[in-house]
Amino acid sequence: MLDVHERLYGKAAPFILGIPAYTFFVVLGIVAGLIYYFTDLSRKGQASEGAIKIVFSALIFGVIGAKIPLLFEGRGWEEILYDKSIVGGLVGGMFGVVAVKRIFRIRLKLGNVIAPSIALGMAIGRLGCFFNGCCYGKIATWGFDFGDGFPRLPTQLFEVGFHVVSFILLLYYKGRVKTAGLLFKLYVLAYFIFRFLIEFIRENPVIWAGMTIYQIICGLGIIYITTVLLRRRENGGEQ
């Protein structure tokens, strides 16, 4: 009997240390991000109940948000349960944190800490997509065969590179940026721009005006974050 991965992708899932490669790297990315987050907070003396609520609300709402774009692609329920969308997860986590902070009246602004945590986790997690053979690019004259017999662009590795560079830059500027939460907004804005562009060479269905659901979400995200940053600037750096 075929497992879920074989039914969805037509090939057996690769394993690492007896664990599906996709699961291995996604979990490793989450753990690495959490370790960085709490280590950095502890070093600064900012570890608190509010900080815990922020990060776990990001994870919970991120999981929920990661499923929503798949609905717009017309995926079956089995695919929706098995797969996830990083763009949807990022948006879900972002608004989930805003909602939880308002509900519990948490005034902490930890965006400059959580941004490199997310970048680190994303960089590791995308390796799972590469070894899993999903989230690949279009057929090209060079690339990797992810199971269909055609060389395809390794867009998963392009994303790994983006997040690695982002992590390094965020570490560099973390101690130099004084505005709370600014690095998170800039990181998400940069990712939305990057993802909007890379969608042109990915194999995702076009759903409206020549764009994929991820390009639509990223486009709206770019408008939203740019508006927030411009308002912050007009208010002299205050939100």
For residue 17, is it within any domain?
Answer: yes
For residue 29, is it within any domain?
Answer: yes
Report the alpha-carbon distance of residue 89 to residue 84 in Å, rounded: 8
For residue 238, is pLDDT > 60? no
DSSP 3-state percent helix, strand, coil across the chain (nearest 5): 65, 10, 25
Residue 152's domain spans which residues?
4-173
Q: What is the mean pLDDT of residues 185-198?
A: 98
For residue 187, is it within any domain?
Answer: no
Which tens digits make up the pLDDT trace of 91-135? 999 999 999 999 999 998 999 999 999 999 999 999 999 999 999
For residue 139, is it within any domain?
Answer: yes
Phi, psi of 3 (to 5 degrees): -85, 180
Amino acid identity, position 100: V
For residue 184, is it within any domain?
Answer: no
Number of independent structural domains in the chain: 1
Which tens digits make up the pLDDT trace of 128-167? 999 999 999 999 999 999 988 999 999 999 999 999 999 9
For residue 1, is pLDDT > 60? no
Provide the pLDDT for residue 224: 96
Q: What percent of the chain has pLDDT over 70?
A: 93
Query: Would you say the pTM of this structure is higher than 0.85?
Result: yes
Burial class of residue 122, CB neighbours in 10 A (0-12, 13-18, 19+): buried
Amino acid identity, position 205: P
Do the bridges between strand 15-16 and strand 151-152 make them parallel or antiparallel, or are there none, so unpaired?
Answer: unpaired
Provide the pLDDT for residue 8: 61
Q: What percent of the chain has pLDDT over 90?
A: 74
For residue 207, is it within any domain?
Answer: no
For residue 130, is it within any domain?
Answer: yes
Full DSSP string of 147-184: SSSSEE--HHHHHHHHHHHHHHHHHHHHTT--STTHHH
For residue 239, is pLDDT > 50? no
